[in-house]
Amino acid sequence: MRKIYKISGLILLVVIISVIAIVVIKSKKNKSGSGEDLGRIVMNLENLDYCDIGDMKGYDMSECESLSGKVETDKTITGLYYEVLDKGGRVLKHEDIDVSKEWVIDSVPLSVPGSYVKVCATLSGGGVITHEEWFHNDSFSRLEGLDIDMSDADNDGIETYLELVAGTDPNNADTDGDGLNDYIELIEIGTDPLKVDSNGDGKPDGDDDADEDGLTNIEEARLGTYTWGLFTDEDLLTDYEEVKIYGTDPLNRDTDGDGKDDDWEVDNGYNPLVADNAFITTVSEVGKGTVVSVKVKADPGKLSSLKVSAVEFRPEIPGYMGDGYELVMNGSFDSAEVTYYFDSANLVMNGFAPKVYRLDVEEDELYPIDTVWDHENAYVTATLDRPAIFVILNSAIFEGSGY
């Protein structure tokens, strides 16, 4: 059963409209049957906002747990207690308070969207003085200790007491019979669970599309996808695209379980329904005088660590053509094809022969890598067999320099 942690729709019986309280304390004079003034009970309300929601006028106690006040009487107080009541007057909790003219209730339990709290003092001679106020509450953490029915007989995700507050049938998951259960209507999309056609557009609420993703509310209810959001599994394919276009699972961002999200596979030309052992991704970087594009094929779990960054090489190196680059990745890869772009002005140089070299950091040596160049374009390609620092040089100058 889904627990309720937010309130919307009809239960905005709960929404708070805050107005600064004009009354600092609230009290009520009490008289005996003979007209004798017995005194009054005062509630300290100066820190609570006054709320006016329909016929439920009272104070917002959502952020305040304790309640205090005074008993102003010339009589002897023989007993003191408080009661929490629902809007129909049913007692949800009865508890004694330490007898004192200055009373405190440390933690006041309240139902949602609120409850009456009544403080009562019994006096010598048999008199009783009382005072009660309605307190709004939108926190479900305040329910403990109340005599309310927390069962969910119809398994719609809404406790029985809330169904009674909302007016829905606690024994029928879909009170209005529009194909959407009461939880979806009350909590998720805010339609009226007592009306088949809440917005009066001539269609049942189940045939509407609350989140405008292309799937009807009832389709999403059957699929288990969000009726209020486009991306249930957060993979950036909308629920509609997953169900109607790609056939992927809208509840699983990696339908085929190969380590790449469905949207990434679609964007990069892979089939999100077929698991792949390796993927190809391309990373580009701009350096001084050169640009590289590195296409790496590797296990998807390793590709996330792939990084290519420019590395400055000394211009005095014979055959210098610009920056080198470092390819970093956790673990090995199947292949890494480097496309190295350079200044086209080099093409007119006599004997020009561009080649990619790998730097052995421990030996401080540059080793040539097989390089392909078609002699007409200002780029070459080479293949790395490991993460490395690499650079392009004019081999016609470098290899004859003895550097």
Do 31 and 105 lie in a common domain? yes
In a domain, 238, yes or no: no
Do 18 and 137 lie in a common domain? yes
**Which of 97, 113, 142 represents a domain boundary (last residue)?**
142
Contact 156, 137 (CB under 8 A): no
Q: What does the pLDDT look like over 218-260, one tens digit per residue?
A: 999 889 898 889 999 999 999 999 999 999 999 999 998 888 8
Is pLDDT above 70 for 14?
A: no
Confidence of residue 16 (pLDDT cuts 50, 70, 90): very low
In a domain, 257, yes or no: no
Please state whether 214 falls in left (phi above 0), alpha (psi between -120 and 50) or beta: left
Query: DSSP per residue over 134-195, as a string?
Result: EEE---GGG-TTS------TT-SSS-HHHHHHHT--TT-SSTT-SSS-HHIIIIII---TT-
Confidence of residue 31 (pLDDT cuts 50, 70, 90): low
In a domain, 99, yes or no: yes
In a domain, 90, yes or no: yes
Task: Please give the residue range of the domain that contains residue 299.
Answer: 280-398
Q: Which residues contact 82 (CB under 8 A, 6 or more apart)?
A: 94, 95, 97, 105, 108, 117, 118, 119, 120
In a domain, 17, yes or no: yes
Q: What does the pLDDT look like over 76-124, one tens digit per residue?
A: 999 999 999 988 888 999 999 999 999 999 999 998 888 999 999 999 9
Domain CATH code at residue 346 = 2.60.40
In a domain, 268, yes or no: no
φ/ψ (deg, to 5) at 162:
-70, -35
Is pLDDT above 60 for 28?
A: no
Do 120 and 173 lie in a common domain? no
As a whole number of Å, the end-to-end CA separation of the chain is 74
Q: Based on the number of CB atoms within 10 Å of its own CB, is 201 exposed (0-12), middle (13-18) or buried (19 or more)?
A: exposed
Contact 141, 6 (CB under 8 A): no
Tell if the pTM clears 0.85, that is, is over it.
Answer: no
Closest CA to 375 of 355, 399, 398, 389: 355
Q: What does the pLDDT look like over 113-134, one tens digit per residue?
A: 889 999 999 999 889 999 999 9
Do 116 and 176 lie in a common domain? no
More confident residue, 95 or 349: 95
Do 185 and 123 lie in a common domain? no
| Residue-level pLDDT at 5 | 29
Percent of the chain with pLDDT over 90: 56
Do 310 and 204 lie in a common domain? no
Separation between Cα atoms, residue 280 and residue 306, nearest integer Å: 11
Do 202 and 164 lie in a common domain? yes
Q: Which residues contact 299 (CB under 8 A, 6 or more apart)?
A: 259, 277, 278, 331, 333
Do 124 and 205 lie in a common domain? no
Separation between Cα atoms, residue 161 and residue 135, nearest integer Å: 17
Q: What does the pLDDT look like over 254-282, one tens digit per residue?
A: 998 888 899 988 988 889 998 887 788 88
Do 164 and 123 lie in a common domain? no
In a domain, 2, yes or no: no
**Which of 89, 108, 142 represents a domain boundary (last residue)?**
142
Domain CATH code at residue 37 = 2.60.40.10
Is pLDDT above 90 for 170?
A: yes
Closest CA to 183 of 30, 397, 2: 2
Query: In the predicted model, what is the mean pLDDT of residues 5-34?
Result: 39
Do 138 and 164 lie in a common domain? no
In a domain, 259, yes or no: no
Do 134 and 184 lie in a common domain? no
- Tell me, what DSSP letter sits at residue 206? G
Separation between Cα atoms, residue 97 and residue 46, nearest integer Å: 21
Q: What is the tally of structural domains in the chain?
A: 3
Do 32 and 105 lie in a common domain? yes
Task: Supply the mean pLDDT for the chain.
Answer: 86
Q: What does the pLDDT look like over 199-224, one tens digit per residue?
A: 999 999 999 999 999 999 999 988 98
